[in-house]
Amino acid sequence: MSPQIINTGLYPVDNLSSADARTWVAQLRARLEHDGSCTLPNFVTAQALAKMVRQAHSIAHLAYPGPTEVSPYFFNYRLGNACDVPATHPLRRKGRRNLAQVAADLIPPEFLLSQLYRSDLMLDFLAAITGKPVYRNQDPYQSLNISFMNQGGCQQWHFDSGTMVTTLLLQEPEAGGIFEYAPAIRSEANENFDAVQAVLDDNSDRVRQNHLQAGTLSLFRGHYSLHRVTEVEGSRQRVQAILGYSTRPGLIGNKESSILHYGPRVAEIEAKTPLYPE
């Protein structure tokens, strides 16, 4: 029998209309507004977490390392070389990326993580916090990922494409692997390149840290908040699930980006039986 996944004793996501839940959701929304992030330790039960970790490790061999130097703006691979801006400009900067990810199409639907991602409880919970309908990303490869970082693993400063990407830390490293972010550094109206450049130059007072424990769900405005993971120290892997949600319906990523991040097999699939819509 599958264990209960969400720790509803701590977090009443199954009863959002109760007075207690409404107060709690309002607090989360305020924290997200104020801090650009909020974390929910022990969001999944200990039994579910243990099983999720076992299941993640069982498909770790399917993880693809992807690019090792990446722009904060994933989709600007060509722009980074071609645009008429100085080499110090954020559009032309690349940071070191050292991790491997299992793409969504390789994560079995019966895995607890898939069940959590596909649960309407998650959509309803995130919608209650944002005050808007929330949708699962429709990208066949990017919607749900498991990321593995070995010793020395890290992720460069970047923005997410989705507006409500959430992460669930499955296994924490012995040290390092800290989530750092600059909340609300850009908006739809303003890319704020000067402030982004200051962060990339390690010369900004906007940067905050979240020290996450395994089992913590992290809500985060990664589309507007620049973020990274610092270098993992020690031999225990950092294992994290990335759950792609968005307040925009039908969000689909870029095929070129998926080939880069998940490997040439994506190009082969797309040539034969495409998962991306025409």
Q: Which is nearer to Fe ion, 155 or 237 (CB)?
A: 155
Residues 127, 129: Cα–Cα separation, whole Å: 5
Positions touching Fe ion (CB under 5 A) are 160, 222
CB-based closest residue to Fe ion: 160
Name the minimum Å distance from CB 100 to Fe ion.
Answer: 15
Name the minimum Å distance from CB 247 to Fe ion.
Answer: 16
In degrees, rounded to 5, the angle at the alpha carbon of residue 70 between the alpha carbons of residues 68 and 74 is 135
Name the minimum Å distance from CB 181 to Fe ion.
Answer: 9
Name the minimum Å distance from CB 12 to Fe ion.
Answer: 28
Cα 257 to chain centroid distance, Å, stands at 15
User: How many CB atoms lie under 10 A from the CB of residue 61?
Assistant: 8
Q: Which is nearer to Fe ion, 25 or 146 (CB)?
A: 146
Q: Which is nearer to Fe ion, 162 or 215 (CB)?
A: 162
In degrees, rounded to 5, the angle at the alpha carbon of residue 194 between the alpha carbons of residues 193 and 198 is 115
Helix spans in 169-225 (H): 193-200
Q: Which is nearer to Fe ion, 153 or 222 (CB)?
A: 222
Name the minimum Å distance from CB 158 to Fe ion.
Answer: 6
Classify the phi-psi angles of 250: left when phi > 0, otherwise alpha if psi is within -120 to 50, otherwise beta.
Answer: left
Q: Which is nearer to Fe ion, 111 or 224 (CB)?
A: 224
- How far CA 276 is from CA of 133, 142, 161, 269, in Å, comes to 24, 11, 17, 10
Residue 84 CB contacts under 8 Å (≥ 6 apart), including other chains? none
